[in-house]
Structure 1
Amino acid sequence: MESHPDVLVIGGGATGTGIARDLALRGVDVTLVERDGLAAGTSGRSHGLLHSGARYAEADGPEARECLEENRILRAIAGACIRDTRGLFVQLADDDPAYFDAKRAACDDVGIPTDVIDGATAREAVPTLTGDVERAMWVPDGVVAPSRLVAANAVDAREHGAHIRTHAPVTSMTVERGRVTSVTLGGDADETIHPRYVVNAAGPHAGHVAELAGVTVAMRPTRGVMVSVDYEGLEPVLNRCREPDDGDIIVPHDGQVVLGTTSVPVDDPDDYERADWELERTIDECAAMLPPVADAEHVRTWWGVRPLYEPEEAAHGGRGISRGFHLLDHAGEGVENCCSIVGGKLTTYRVMAEATADLVCDRLGVDADCRTAETELPGASDPERLDAFVEEFDGQGPTDADIVDSS
């Protein structure tokens, strides 16, 4: 079997499905392929935090502004994919008060709404918060159900003419005279695609996909553990107000909370150690904010792998940097019809897709504007319909397994 779409998108996470949606809404003939079910990689294995930008405000103002803007857009278009919880950055007794002050000032500069409260008021809002809290700061964080978000993007892409192929791994590419001329799929697909343009949105596997096209995308993936425990009644996302470190985020779900996370380099995003110390450290550190989680019953544990871009990691080092996205046009490496999109975060998937679609449309001579920021996702107001989308695309990830009913 053969097909000849304008664009082939490789990768069925939030960014890949977002790109397929954006291009389809612009009238481009697009096929998306994913080696597993949708959201099988980074998107579906995150902690599910909808960033307000506050986490990055003092490190990277432009990135924080982008998070804030995308946060607002997703609240408008994504409906039941999003839960509006707010977020609370908490300063404990051992935390540097100067860091809290710097973050608050940076949020003000960026335009992120904040409300600083004392420790007693914070404990009124979250009665089980540690007695060591000195002060706290409200920010407009939230929670994402990534399985729903990814599936809804795929459905909108399909409704506008895109083809979505799951369980269709890319096995080889042919490059002739500086262009990808064919891409062979395995798995359930057994198909050869002849695209005019190829987008590599394969997350931590982007380096491997790039190699198939004879180009280079240097990745430095890191793993992080998440553990969900039984816990009733937490409303806001809790963020430890210190330099980013292990176990500094607690994300509320209905009847559970997700504790995260660690950051450990991995060589192979498919084959890596899942160390007990990461789980133990994450629980211990999160319990410093919310002590009852130390003894709460474990429901499920999972690791995710971040698709970090090696040159940025090498230039800045450490965990505290703001991790923006990188759009790589491989024309400079001699492959005219191929680009890769790496880095970023779930909150900014839509703007990553927009930037990629802008580049692709420029290369294809398509004159059409992005419409994704103003167009509501299918099923946004209907959780049952969203969950049916997840089931259809085999898109259930562990992040929101307690939220999505795909039975």
Structure 2
Amino acid sequence: MEDAPTVLVIGGGATGTGIARDLALRGISVMLAERNGLSSGASSRSHGLLHSGARYAEADRTGAEECIEENRVLRSIGGACIRNTGGLFIQLPEDDPDYFESKRAACESIGIETRVLDGNAARRVVPGLSERVERAMWVPDGVVYPSRLSAANAADAEEHGGTVFPHAPLENLTVEDGHIIQATLGGSVDATVAPQYVINATGAWAGQVAAMAGVDVEMAPSRGVMISVAYDALGPALNRCRDPDDGDIIVPHESEVVLGTTSVSVSDPDAYEEAEWEVEKSVQECAKMLPPVAEAAVVRTWWGVRPLYAPDEQKSNRRGISRGFFVLDHADDGVENFLSIVGGKLTTYRQMAEAVADRICSKLGVEAECQTATRPLPGADDPDRLDAFVAHYDAQGPTDSDVVKNGAAA
């Protein structure tokens, strides 16, 4: 094991593994450490929607532009890490028709493809769709299988000289003279390393990791429930066309659909209530769009914690507004070789990783260009190979456990 990597990435979700891949492809020595298996935080405890940007179009143009750009990139590089389903924004009688029109107009101005269907046309596309649906808007949403995505990024990082430790919790950071000089890793590593730079890509846990270096990163984590039910008749993802609220997304898999979600503030991303009302309300609200899910058998239920950055959240009290991402250079806080990446969405993980890698390359004087927007992920065209990566890195999570084959050998 190299004990002095140029960069140590803490956090093995989509963003962390994306950073490791990007840096390795640029020829930089990188080590990644995750505590509980890759993507064990928010990445594989999400609903797995590949956003087109339509959800945010009228509220946050920049965020929507980021989503549609990365949506197209992932479709070109992701292969079986994603599923091209399309999506429908559903208008019920109680939903404001002006909201529908403002979203459609915003999508058009951004360049997000849309197509409006009347209620009957929408029901032909989606058998079982509520008879109360008045109209729908097709957008290029899709599905992400985050276990495969994180594992494929990690595999490519290692293929290009990086090192990935899926069970190596960070235990301590030693700071001297304004620099992190050592990082102590436990678990399978049980060693101290001396990186030139440390990147904190731990999502909702970013504040806890930053505190180890004496830095304050104020997070505002929020939990949300997901319920996977047995239902194999849904093609496109469904979004309720209203201001974002509880129970307004249905994401199709192969023989199941994922219903979600809620948004409840938590103080500790490792210890929070899992309230039954969240399950009941999400199912009830989703059934207003697709009534059969109300009686479908529940396969599994899980909660995820969103990595929301407190200063960004304080700008608005509107739930569901697009959350941007932020690269925090802690040289401003007195620690010269420490960066945090916070906020963002699963859909924009690659763009977030590129922004961090650009910053590190600038500091190192490395002029290599980013390759991740055009280079396909390893195994993209081979689901069995992707699932072998998942097994190798212990990257399995509840979001896609119905799709990823268990027990594959690396």
- TM-score range relative to shorter protein: over 0.9
CA distance in 1: counterparts of 2:351 and 2:14, whole angstroms: 11
CA distance in 1: counterparts of 2:394 and 2:186, whole angstroms: 17
CA contact (8 A) 1:250 1:258 kept: yes
Instruction: Give the AA of the match of 2:178.
Output: G
TM-score (norm 2): 0.98
Instruction: Give the AA of the match of 2:203.
Output: G
CA distance in 1: counterparts of 2:337 and 2:366, whole angstroms: 14
In structure 2, what is the equivalent of residue 301 of structure 1? 301
CA distance in 1: counterparts of 2:275 and 2:88, whole angstroms: 29
In the alignment of these two chains, the number of paired residues is 407
% identical aligned pairs: 66
In structure 1, what is the equivalent of residue 84 of structure 2? 84
| TM superposition shift of 1:341 | 0.2
> Secondary structure of 1:173's match?
strand
In structure 2, what is the equivalent of residue 262 of structure 1? 262
CA distance in 1: counterparts of 2:76 and 2:122, whole angstroms: 28
1:172 matches 2:197: no
CA distance in 2: counterparts of 1:109 and 1:320, whole angstroms: 21
Instruction: Give the AA of the match of 2:380.
Output: A
CA contact (8 A) 2:174 2:183 kept: yes
| TM superposition shift of 1:396 | 0.2
Instruction: Give the AA of the match of 1:308.
Output: L
In structure 1, what is the equivalent of residue 384 of structure 2? 384
Aligned-CA RMSD value: 0.8
CA-to-partner distance for each residue in 1:192-249, whole Å, 9 max, x for gaps? 0100001000010000000001111100000000000000210000000000000000
List aligned pairs for 1:193-232, cutoff 5 A: 193-232=193-232
| TM superposition shift of 1:313 | 0.7
CA contact (8 A) 1:129 1:289 kept: yes
CA distance in 2: counterparts of 1:215 and 1:176, whole angstroms: 13
1:239 matches 2:239: yes
CA distance in 2: counterparts of 1:284 and 1:332, whole angstroms: 47
In structure 2, what is the equivalent of residue 249 of structure 1? 249
CA contact (8 A) 1:173 1:184 kept: yes
List aligned pairs for 1:94-113, cutoff 5 A: 94-113=94-113
In structure 2, what is the equivalent of residue 395 of structure 1? 395
- Structure 1 residues 2 and 68: alpha-carbon distance in aligned structure 2, compared to 1, 3 A threshold: closer
> Secondary structure of 2:313's match?
helix
> Secondary structure of 2:198's match?
strand
| TM superposition shift of 1:2 | 6.8
> Secondary structure of 1:143's match?
strand
Q: What residue ranges of structure 2 are gaps of 5+ in the alignment?
A: none
CA distance in 2: counterparts of 1:192 and 1:24, whole angstroms: 21
In structure 1, what is the equivalent of residue 405 of structure 2? 405
TM-score (norm 1): 0.99
CA distance in 1: counterparts of 2:288 and 2:120, whole angstroms: 17
CA distance in 1: counterparts of 2:209 and 2:215, whole angstroms: 9
CA distance in 2: counterparts of 1:118 and 1:78, whole angstroms: 32
Instruction: Give the AA of the match of 1:250.
Output: I
In structure 1, what is the equivalent of residue 62 of structure 2? 62
Q: What residue ranges of structure 1 are gaps of 5+ in the alignment?
A: none
CA-to-partner distance for each residue in 1:261-296, whole Å, 9 max, x for gaps? 000000000000000000000000000000010010
CA contact (8 A) 1:2 1:194 kept: no
